[in-house]
Amino acid sequence: MAIQTSKLSDPAVRAFVAAVNAHDRDAFLDLLTPDATMSDDGSDRDLDDWIDREIFTSNGHMDVDTESDGGRALVAQYRNDTWGEMRTAWRFTITPDGHISRFETGQA
């Protein structure tokens, strides 16, 4: 059973999932530090290219199954128009002021 987005523990992660699911690129980018980085399956990627391709032009959507590490680690069913649905793991690095400086994702 998926965890409702509004019930996720970490405010930045909660806002990240909400922005992905609302396809709100501006809200998504507002959550990130200016120098934010990310990786997919262990390889660093160009953040702007990746989010456009994997989230915003392909109707990305996350249904969170579990959270750990105070809400900064998720296992979610992720789907988009390119790859279909897959079980994914997400880890977030959050700055003291509540922004995301890094996220890592990959198959779970």
> What are 26-49's pLDDT values in tens digits?
999 999 999 999 999 999 999 999
Distance between CA 42 and CA 91 in Å, rounded?
12
CB 75 within 8 A of CB 105: no
Q: Does position 1 have pLDDT exceeding 80, yes or no?
A: no
Task: Tell me the DSSP string of 66-80.
Answer: EEEGGGTEEEEEEEE
CB 81 within 8 A of CB 59: yes
Collapsed DSSP state (helix, strand, coil) of residue 84: strand
Q: Which residues pair with 37 in a beta bridge?
A: 102
C-alpha distances (whole Å) from 36 to each of 49, 72, 80, 81 are 13, 16, 23, 25
* pLDDT recorded at residue 69: 97
Domains, the chain, ordered by start: 5-107 (3.10.450.50)
* pLDDT recorded at residue 84: 96
* pLDDT recorded at residue 70: 97
Q: Tens digits of per-residue pLDDT, 14-28?
A: 999 999 999 999 999
Q: Does position 62 have pLDDT exceeding 80, yes or no?
A: yes
pTM of the prediction? 0.96
Distance between CA 8 and CA 33 in Å, rounded?
21
Q: Tens digits of per-residue pLDDT, 78-108?
A: 999 999 999 999 999 999 999 999 999 999 9
Collapsed DSSP state (helix, strand, coil) of residue 98: coil
